[in-house]
Amino acid sequence: MTSTTTHTGTDGRVTVRISDPGELIAAVPHLLSFRPGPSVVLLNHAGAKERRILPVIRADLPDESFEPDAVRELVRRLLRHPGAGVTVVIIGCRPGHRAPPGEVPHKQLAGLLVRALDDVGRPVDHALWVPEIRAGVPWRCYLDDCPPGVLPDDRDTVMAAAMATRGWVTYDSREEMSRLLDPDDPAAIERRQRMLDAAVDRLAEAPAPEAIAAAMGHFGAEESAAHLSVVRAALARAEAGDLDLSDEDVVSLAMALSNLEVRDRCLRTAEPPGEPASNAAERLWLELVRRTPPPERAEPAVLLGYSAYRRGDCVLAGLAFDNALTARPGHRLAELLDLCLDRQIPPAALSRLSHPNGGAPMANTP
């Protein structure tokens, strides 16, 4: 019997339907964008018919004395989203945990979650345990409503192929994912810092009102038009697969994105989420995060985070907002979006930032 099927809609979107619990567990790394270590994961089934999974909520396995508090926090986060049911997946064991012979590890935690979710009207479809997410690893069910099984190779599933087709990458760990944002070359960063300092000094030599406005991220119409032109050219190159940025490219883009009007218009490049044009823009923002010195790095970092948030990759979004706040402490947009992420605001609710006046977002350019 086929337990995983795909359907390609008229808009080109691929829908993956999974009915086997083992394949649902194998989908977790792709849904999170990284392979989790010991964790408790809630898969929220957002619709009664389609059972679309949104969001995926993950937390480290808590110590036994903190399990009730951890359950309350997980349920609180889940209830920020509409849903018709939940799948609970517990991965691995916390250090020192020993399950009684014949019992599934962390049975108490699973029971607390099942009862708490049932109390708030979110029935648990499956409650599953697996020691790790690797091919051939056996999994078990806490509710005994399905026989145990063995995980498929998550890298060879239909889900993996669908994600790869969309250009999404699954990393072996959260740490590997976080290294994506590391600077590309310290010597190059220093070189570009000197170039940026010289460019900022030239701005400071402008007449006082213009210099003060530029320091606050506000520029005149002529400068804004020039900055938009720089960004549009880089986006067009990124969509063509060209992310080879010279020092001059990085500096000119950093200066363009320091124009808050231009930076805010670049939020539109996240629409529609996960499509080729918005994926290309996200790759450009990532390259700029890696290549741009602080504090200017904060602007591409917040754009990267926003794009990741809009397409549902909340882990990358959080890493990007942290990066922005490290580069420029007190960055207002990064603080706002990080607060939205912390409070589990649904990604769709952010679309007003992309087109705040209610009109349709621009296709692939700010």
Mean pLDDT score of the chain, rounded to an integer?
A: 86
Q: What is the pLDDT of residue 168?
A: 74
Q: Secondary structure of 36-91 in the HEC alphabet?
A: CCCEEEEEEECCCCCCCEEEEEEEECCCHHHHHHHHHHHHHHHCCCCCCEEEEEEE
Q: Spell out the domain ranges in the chain.
A: 4-172, 178-354
For the stretch 306-365, pLDDT in tens is 999 998 888 899 999 999 999 999 999 999 999 999 888 888 889 888 765 543 344 455
Assigned CATH topology for domain 4-172: Cytidine Deaminase; domain 2 (3.40.140)
Complete DSSP assignment for 150-201: E---GGGSHHHHHHHHTT---BS-HHHHHGGGS-S-HHHHHHHHHHHHHHHH
**Has residue 198 got a pLDDT over 70?**
yes
Strands in 85-91's sheet, in edge-to-edge order, are 53-60, 39-45, 85-91, 124-130, 138-141, 149-150
For the stretch 220-261, pLDDT in tens is 788 889 999 999 999 999 999 999 999 999 999 999 999 999
- Which of 208, 184, 365, 201 minimizes the C-alpha distance to 291? 184
pTM exceeds 0.85: no
**Has residue 300 got a pLDDT over 90?**
yes
For the stretch 21-30, pLDDT in tens is 999 999 999 9
pLDDT band at 155 (very low <50, low <70, confident <90, very high): confident
